[in-house]
Amino acid sequence: MTTTEHPGSGAGLAGANATESARQGLSSRRAATGAADSERIATVVGAALEGIRAAIRDHRVGYAEFDAFKRWLIDVSDTGEWPLFLDVYLEFEVERVAADSQSGSTGTILGPFWLDGQAQLTSPATLPMRDDEPGTPFVLAGQVRGTDGTPLAGATVDIWHTDDEGWYSGFAEKPPAGNLRGVVTCDDEGRFEIRTRKPAPYTIPLDGPTGKLTLAAGWSPWRPAHLHLLVAAPGHRTVTTQLFFTGDEYLDSDVASATKPDLVLDPQPTGNGAEIRSDYDFVLEPE
């Protein structure tokens, strides 16, 4: 397991910006759920609290550890890391519950780093990038269809991912705003072709409380390289997913537990220099 510090990691920036983004509540727009009634609150919150009380009893937690826990919680708030912590350690369970009642393409977690208002592009598209953007040129192409096989005209692919050094624009100092992010409108047959760079594996910020806890427990802080996608079409449920790359050394030890076998790409050379390409189709269920 490698635990090299992610160079220039900025827990402060990543945490604060992720908190701002979470306030917009995108993930709850994925599925309508009613307001919680008091019985539901008592059941779910009660079970969560009982889980913690059981850990205290079973592992003889003392006051020094209880105080450390309080300080850590305060630190998570102060650094704005709640979205990071929750999306790494809990979101995958929520996503699995949601997936039980869904059809269409396999989804996975949204994570904390989606941003609204990115470049609007038309397929074939090249994501915004620096003139000398490092990394392997990568093409993702495919078609968006309904569950009955109909190509979905007007489909959009909102895509965001790290650069070749594992940095997300908007959440790290280095990449410029909007780098490697865009919302691509497909053609009339729901087809898309997106030119970008292959992303790199990513460690959660190591200088904030989420990373410190992860390292203190001896857990790997790495996520395998991944593309984030929101695939949408009028009248259909948006698929929130990620795509990974075969051979990635962190595929089986994702700190966010978000990998699924269906989501692993095996890109092939296109013959155009170092460029590689993957074809991946999406199926959306009617709303």
Q: Which residues bind Fe ion (CB under 5 A)?
A: 111
What CA–CA distances, in Å, run from 98 to 61, 105, 119, 143?
34, 13, 29, 24
CB nearer to Fe ion: pick between 111 and 190 = 111
Q: Which of 181, 223, 237, 277 binds ligand DHB (CB under 6 A)?
A: 223
CB nearer to ligand DHB: pick between 225 and 232 = 225
In this structure, how many other beta carbons lie within 10 angstroms of the beta carbon of residue 270? 13
Residue 221 · residue 206 · CB < 8 Å: yes
Find which of Fe ion, ligand DHB, none residue 87 binds, CB within 5 to 8 Å per kind. ligand DHB
Stretch that binds ligand DHB, among 33-41, 82-90, 191-199, 272-280 (CB under 6 A): 82-90
Is residue 158 classed as helix, strand or coil in its secondary structure? Answer: strand
Q: Which of 9, 79, 82, 113 binds ligand DHB (CB under 6 A)?
A: 113
What distance in Å separates the CA atoms of residue 160 and residue 138, rounded to the nearest whole number? 13
Helices 82-89 and 209-216, interaxial angle, to 10°? 40
Q: Which of 21, 87, 175, 199 binds ligand DHB (CB under 6 A)?
A: 87
In this structure, how many other beta carbons lie within 10 angstroms of the beta carbon of residue 72? 15
The structure tokens listed for 156 are 């959009």
The reply on whether position 112 binds ligand DHB by CB under 6 A is yes
For residue 75, the minimal CB distance to ligand DHB (Å) is: 15
Q: Which of 11, 140, 184, 204 binds ligand DHB (CB under 6 A)?
A: 204
What distance in Å separates the CA atoms of residue 27 and residue 215, rounded to the nearest whole number? 27
For residue 184, the minimal CB distance to ligand DHB (Å) is: 19
Q: Which of 11, 22, 76, 84 binds ligand DHB (CB under 6 A)?
A: 84
Residue 85 DSSP one-character state: H
For the chain, the maximum distance between any two Cα atoms, rounded to a whole number of angstroms, is 63
What distance in Å separates the CA atoms of residue 66 and residue 258, rounded to the nearest whole number? 30
For residue 21, the minimal CB distance to Fe ion (Å) is: 12
CB nearer to ligand DHB: pick between 153 and 206 = 206
CB nearer to ligand DHB: pick between 152 and 172 = 172
What CA–CA distances, in Å, run from 84 to 19, 130, 180?
8, 27, 20
Query: Using CB under 6 A as the criterion, what x/- string covers residues 122-161 for binding ligand DHB?
Result: ----------------------------------------
By CB under 6 A, name the binding residues for ligand DHB: 84, 87-88, 111-113, 202, 204, 223, 256
